[in-house]
């Protein structure tokens, strides 16, 4: 029953994430105004806005105008529900679970906003930095995952500076922007959460994933090495890979 409640709770936050993904890039408030169909502008009634189930029952179409509903809405709600359930499975009822709930929702929102708009909103990275730092004051948190205060501070600084240096060097060599400061702020936030030691691995993982994702398009001449790609999603995937292989990495280093 607890897992079912967690799944439903996650899907509800996934629905809110969809609101943020749609509204934040447009500078629209995420807490006021009813949801509406982007095609016919009709307000969506509550029984047509049930996370996950409404998408399936409506067969991915607006009830009023039959316009196709973007699959992103379903993917975000289902991903958030699964994320919450997996987090609860591993950490149970704890502060660690709450922290990972917050992180997972922010990651989902950033992932899809950057994927479409090539921006990482300060409204998400700044709070993540603050939370990442504040949690370091709690000595009872999982020390195998979360760093102490000094480690957290160094991680936040290291995460920002390393991306800033990459941007500066690339601009000097190529006379154009290679990455955005949003990527630096996101990596800084991750540094605050997981310490300076996480940064090299996340950069390595994210760079490899980004390269692999763009190779097919380069082969097909759809993109070249100078083409703009959203790097935020790759940083997030790199962070998840670091968390999954955290214990193996520590064993290797020791």
What are 205-249's pLDDT values in tens digits?
Answer: 999 998 888 888 777 777 665 667 889 999 999 999 999 988 887
Nearest C-alpha neighbor of 68 from the set 30, 38, 111, 29 = 38
Residue 227: per-residue pLDDT: 67
pLDDT, one tens digit per residue, over 92-126 is 999 999 999 999 999 999 999 999 999 999 999 99
Return d(Cα 25, Cα 12) in angstroms, integer: 21
Q: Given pLDDT bands bounded at 50, 70 and 90, which one contains residue 254?
A: low
Angle among Cα 246, 250, 254 to the nearest 5 degrees reads: 170
The enclosing H or E element of 217 equals: helix 198-219
Q: Given pLDDT bands bounded at 50, 70 and 90, which one contains residue 62?
A: confident
Residue 253 has pLDDT above 70, yes or no: no
Residue 37 has pLDDT above 90, yes or no: no
Is 0.85 surpassed by the pTM of this model?
yes
Higher pLDDT, residue 25 or 34: 25
Higher pLDDT, residue 207 or 66: 207
Spatial contact of 42 and 36, defined as CB atoms under 8 Å apart:
yes
Residue 35: per-residue pLDDT: 79
Least confident of 82-86, 114-118, 166-170, 171-175: 171-175
Least confident of 125-129, 131-135, 155-159, 246-250: 246-250
Residue 91: per-residue pLDDT: 92
Residue 143: per-residue pLDDT: 77
Q: Virtual CA dihedral for 176, 182, 188, 191, nearest 10 degrees?
A: -110
Give the percent of the chain with pLDDT over 70: 96
Spatial contact of 118 and 177, defined as CB atoms under 8 Å apart:
no
- Per-chain mean pLDDT for the chain: 89
What average pLDDT does range 49-53 have in this prediction?
Answer: 87
Return d(Cα 96, Cα 77) in angstroms, integer: 22
Which own/partner pairs from 67-72 qualify as long-range (CB within 8 Å, at least 24 positions apart)? 67/37, 67/38, 67/39, 67/40, 72/18, 72/21, 72/112
Residue 6 has pLDDT above 90, yes or no: yes
Least confident of 33-47, 87-101, 129-143, 196-210: 33-47
What average pLDDT does range 19-36 have in this prediction?
Answer: 87
């Amino acid at each position: 029953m607890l897992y079912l409640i967690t799944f439903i709770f996650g899907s509800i936050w996934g629905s809110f994430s969809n609101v943020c993904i749609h509204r934040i890039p447009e500078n629209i408030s995420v807490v006021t105004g009813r949801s509406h169909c982007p095609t016919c502008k009709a307000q969506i009634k509550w029984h047509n806005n049930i996370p996950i189930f409404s998408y399936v029952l409506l067969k991915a179409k607006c009830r009023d105008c039959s316009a196709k509903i973007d699959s992103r809405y379903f993917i975000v709600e289902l991903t958030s529900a699964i994320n919450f359930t997996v987090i609860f499975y591993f950490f149970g009822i704890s502060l660690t679970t709450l922290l990972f709930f917050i992180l997972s929702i922010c990651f989902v929102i950033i992932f899809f906003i950057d994927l479409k708009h090539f921006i990482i909103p300060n409204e998400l990275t700044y709070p993540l930095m603050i939370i990442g730092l504040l949690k370091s004051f709690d000595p009872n948190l999982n020390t195998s995952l979360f760093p102490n205060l000094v480690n957290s501070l160094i991680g936040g600084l290291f995460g920002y500076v390393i991306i800033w240096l990459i941007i500066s060097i690339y601009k000097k060599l190529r006379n154009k922007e290679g990455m955005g400061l949003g990527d630096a702020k996101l990596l800084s936030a991750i540094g605050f959460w997981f310490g300076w030691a996480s940064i090299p691995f996340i950069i390595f993982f994210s760079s490899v994933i980004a390269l692999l994702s763009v190779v097919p398009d380069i082969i097909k001449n759809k993109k070249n090495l100078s083409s703009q790609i959203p790097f935020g999603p790759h940083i997030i995937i790199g962070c998840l890979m670091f968390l999954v292989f955290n214990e193996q990495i520590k064993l290797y280093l020791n």
